[in-house]
Chain A
Amino acid sequence: MPIVQGSGSTRNEHQKNKGVWSDSGSPGVVANSIIGKPAPLKDSLKKVTGEAVYADDMKFPGMLFCRILRATVPHARVKRLDITKAQAMPGVRAVVTGRESGVRFGVLPVSQDELSMAQEKVIYTGEPLAAVAADSEDIAQAAIWAIEVEYEALTEFLRPQDSLKDVEPAQQIHDKVEKKHPKTNIHKAVDQEFGDVEGAFKQAASTPNASFKFDGISHGFTEPHAVIAHWDAEDRIQLYTPQQVPHYTHRALAKVLDLPMHQIQVIRTTVGGGFGGKSDPFQHEMIACMLARNTRRPVKVTMDREETLLTGRGRHPTESKVAMAFDKDGKLLALDSDVLIDGGAYGSFGVVSAYYNGVLSNGPYLLPAFRYHGKRVYSNRIPSGAMRGHGSVNPRYCTETLVDMAAVELGIDPCELRLRNFLPPNSITPHHKFRVTSTGIREGLMEAMKRSEWSKKWGKLPYGHGIGVGCAWYISGSALPIHWNKLPQSTVHIKIDMDGGVTCHSLAADIGQGSDTMIAQIVAEVIGCKLDRVHVKSTTTDTAPIDLGSYSSRVTFMAGNAAREAAEVVRKDLAAAASKLTGQPAQYFDFAGEEIVCRSKPSVRVGFMEALHEAQADRGALIASGSYQSPPLGGDFKGSNAGLSPSYSFSAFICELKVDPDTGFVQPIKVWAAHDCGKALNPLSVEGQIEGSVHMGLGQALTEQMRYRNGQMLNANFLDYKIPTPFDTPEIEAIIVESHDPEGPFGAKECGEGALAPVIPAVGNAIFDAVGVRMFEVPMTPDRVLRAIEAKARKEREA
């Protein structure tokens, strides 16, 4: 397990300063017994034995089964929706349609544009129109088939360019669109310019530019959507759902169902993969609740794979024109990009996507001048949303490709050119004021170069065999919450009773990334107990303090800091108890191995349980609360909030591959993936996140695409939507870079998302090294690669 120490931040001052800590003396390293040690996920034994409970595994007495009727056309007025036959079928207990509720919702307060079920018109193929609850799934499905629908076609917007045009109000997909373009289907336009862009291009020695096109892709989590709603006898609604962000669902349910939030309990079931695809409040969640309300029975919705893919929220299809300017030494001078983003039917996280597609290009290189025009449009296609690396992945491909083109043009090694441009640690980007605390990208890239033997290979491998590089950065938690309020972004509660069990409550959603384990590790480290003493309860809104949830790669940084703060309160209590028992001053105790040891006299020690019982005298269970709120950051221009994060992760990847020039087939051989996660709290999980990101990135790079005909997704199944199999996945060498972030918990930053983006350009650049063609369309499928090879050959013949 290679771990490289970054020089980014010399010392984790934050940890030193925060109080009661004993430091091992070496820079940035705490005397850890649990932090930094590989730990299997706390729930892994349940998962390997089949004991873990996912939503579809649950059963309740009297439970009904729901099926949903979905639109079969992309944009049409609903002339007639007749449910009478369905209602009359034996075993059918309730049928609901759009008439049930006209309340619109959505994850962002500015884009409340989703209805639980379509009303007068449908806006994409797959949109829910009606739903049935019945005694069995078979009956529910039969009832769905018995519902009659008649449509009257409306103008369909199936290419994002069409959505830019002025149209009649009746043809607009949504009433509310971008204010600057009121007659179009533009959802959000962002225009930003900083620094002297024109001047930079004039004085540049190299100005690579190109048009790029990216197909939409899907999260492809293996667990299809499933939820159960129960309107219980006490008139409370219980929703069991595999949510990444139970809190936003909680809010949306309160709005749609018109109930106070405390009357709703959201219970997160085991999440069978999310990657951003389970982070919107969903129509099927609303539908299940409505059917439960109407029947007063538990109602389960389980989608099939096709419906899950139609529910969407995957990576936005984008088309962009991008230019960059470099001086003769390869110093980056400016970036100018124009991006058209296909949002599909709903707003979802799209306002954020519209910003991220531009502003996240302000790293990992120092960028003196920046211009960005981004338009996110509504279309009659499957809604796009947040997906792993949200908003940063496609633009990263563009910039990394252009950086490579500049390197070739200027005769500079592409890695060397990158090294000349990296943002330094403890710096602030010139215009957007993104604050970079720690970065280990330099060490990461150099390590990846060394391990891959880059200098022996780049430009020197035989035709058809190539090596390429890609770098990236990513936010380690969005600094601003989606709902503006004064609450902390993460809160963690700890309770320790006389049984000695340490119970942590948090609403940070463990979606398989291991956040429960992360919280347990931090708490165990701080109070010096064994990991298996710590039990994390992170599933129910009734007991967990609010955490904004698992998106924007925020959990380790924010919930981790909250957990640490709570644990430090407990630590003080235990130290005071140990002091009372031994007569030594409380600040002189170290905590490790279930013992509280006097620093100056190690023979004086108190067992964990003894100290605990002393601390509990006259007060009962120890309880503590910790929270995290991002510090104030950023500039003061419009949109200055987008992209702000208390810290950023950095990554540098190198990919070696082979291209078959006769078929265009690309076979990756190996990926060296160096990712700076600040501090690997759990190296096993960090590697797992890096390897998973590489795998997912390779899918987008080479095989995955959502294909459409007439607004209908053609490949809404795992046979035709091609996720890389074991044979398509090369060896992945995860290289952990530790830059010891000054504000991260124990120095940690994110590692779940940032490690995806660099894979795709590393592949594209390696293809160039192998066969000399630049790929401007992603995924780089064999037909596209072959076409590029043929075009190059034609051009060379003609020349």
Chain B
Amino acid sequence: MSKHILRFHVNDRAVEVAVEPWHTLANVLRNDLNLTGTKIGCDMGTCGCCTVHVDGKARLSCLTLALECQGAKIATIEGLNEYEIHPLQRAFAECGGSQCGYCTPGFIMQSCAMLKENPDPTRDEIKAGLSGNLCRCTGFMKIYEAVERAATEMREKPVSAPVKA
């Protein structure tokens, strides 16, 4: 078995990396590209910690084979605050939406994708949007508050493009 060359864009940078065919996007981001902000909580699609954007859509990077992303545009938590901190990041920090922080990058990436499609979600829509993400620390209340606060802020002052891609 031999490695394959994966060419894609990660946080607006062209990247070329040799990967094993069975390695997931999460593995490659973390181990090969050192983007360890993306977390692995279960490696089987049950916790949402590994959520990233693939071509603008939220995806579980532990269930995505790296080689599926040939030519794709990936955004990770590190890409959200390249130039300045993203309103979602600030809101999660200030509202207490992050305690141990392990679930946080996944929640933020999921929320970010959700707000792109629905900039003014109701509580129930937020719950639905985040129902694939697990947080063991916060009881979710402060996460909803953070998303609501960021949504308001982003409606008033749209973020140009978190990642320039």
Q: Which residues of A contact B (CB under 8 A)?
A: 38, 40-41, 43-54, 56-57, 59, 138, 219-224, 270-275, 304-305, 511-514, 684-685, 687-688, 691-696, 717-719, 723, 725-727, 729, 731-732
CB <8 Å contact, A718 and B47: yes
CB <8 Å contact, B136 and A717: no
For the complex, give the distance between the alpha carbons of A52 and B127 in Å: 26
| CB neighbours of A695 from chain B (8 A) | 136, 138-140
CB <8 Å contact, B78 and A40: no
Q: Which residues of B contact A (CB under 8 A)?
A: 20, 30, 34-44, 46-47, 49, 76-78, 80-81, 85, 88-90, 92-94, 96, 98-105, 108, 126-128, 130-131, 134-142
Task: Kindly name the residue among B30, B98, B103 whose own CB sees the greatest number of chain A CB atoms within 10 A.
Answer: B98
Besides A272-B100, A273-B100, A685-B96, 14 other CB < 8 A contacts? A44-B92, A45-B85, A47-B100, A47-B101, A48-B104, A56-B36, A219-B136, A221-B100, A222-B39, A222-B102, A223-B41, A271-B100, A273-B137, A718-B134
CB <8 Å contact, A718 and B96: no
Q: Which residue of B lies closest to A726 (CB)?
A: B127
* A142 CB to nearest B CB, Å: 12
| CB neighbours of A719 from chain B (8 A) | 44, 46
CB <8 Å contact, B41 and A305: yes
CB <8 Å contact, A48 and B131: no
CB <8 Å contact, A40 and B101: no
> Which of A43, A54, A222, A729 is the one whose CB lies under 8 Å from B47?
A222
> Which of A304, A692, A726 is the one whose CB lies under 8 Å from B137?
A692
| CB neighbours of B135 from chain A (8 A) | 222
Q: Which residue of B lies closest to A43 (CB)?
A: B101
CB <8 Å contact, A50 and B36: yes
A-B pairs, top 5 by smallest CB distance, nearest first, are A50-B37, A512-B100, A47-B101, A272-B102, A691-B139
CB <8 Å contact, A696 and B78: no
**A222-B136, A726-B140, A727-B127 as given contacts; A692 in contact with B93, CB under 8 Å:** no
* A421 CB to nearest B CB, Å: 29
* A188 CB to nearest B CB, Å: 29
* B118 CB to nearest A CB, Å: 15
27 A-B residue pairs with CB within 8 Å = A41-B98, A44-B92, A44-B101, A47-B93, A47-B101, A48-B92, A50-B37, A50-B38, A54-B36, A138-B20, A221-B102, A223-B39, A223-B102, A224-B40, A273-B100, A275-B136, A305-B46, A512-B99, A512-B102, A514-B99, A687-B142, A692-B137, A694-B139, A696-B136, A696-B139, A726-B128, A726-B131
CB <8 Å contact, B142 and A691: yes
CB <8 Å contact, A40 and B42: no
Which label, helix, strand, loop or mixed, suits the secondary structure of the A interface?
loop
For the complex, give the distance between the alpha carbons of A222 and B40 in Å: 9
CB <8 Å contact, A725 and B131: yes
> Which of A57, A275, A511, A688 is the one whose CB lies under 8 Å from B138?
A688
Q: Which residue of A lies closest to B135 (CB)?
A: A222
CB <8 Å contact, B46 and A717: yes
* B3 CB to nearest A CB, Å: 12
CB <8 Å contact, B136 and A273: yes
| CB neighbours of B77 from chain A (8 A) | 48-50
For the complex, give the distance between the alpha carbons of A51 and B126 in Å: 26
Task: Kindly name the residue among B20, B39, B49, B130 whose own CB sees the greatest number of chain A CB atoms within 10 A.
Answer: B39
* B42 CB to nearest A CB, Å: 4
CB <8 Å contact, B140 and A729: yes
Task: Kindly name the residue among A40, A304, A685, A717 whose own CB sees the greatest number of chain B CB atoms within 10 A.
Answer: A40
| CB neighbours of A59 from chain B (8 A) | 34
* B125 CB to nearest A CB, Å: 11
Task: Kindly name the residue among B76, B78, B134 whose own CB sees the greatest number of chain A CB atoms within 10 A.
Answer: B134
> Which of A49, A53, A224 is the one whose CB lies under 8 Å from B78?
A49
**A224-B41, A688-B138, A725-B134 as given contacts; A57 in contact with B100, CB under 8 Å:** no
CB <8 Å contact, A688 and B99: yes
Q: Which residue of B lies closest to A138 (CB)?
A: B20
CB <8 Å contact, B41 and A732: no
For the complex, give the distance between the alpha carbons of A46 and B78 in Å: 11
CB <8 Å contact, B96 and A47: no
| CB neighbours of A271 from chain B (8 A) | 100
| CB neighbours of A221 from chain B (8 A) | 100, 102, 136
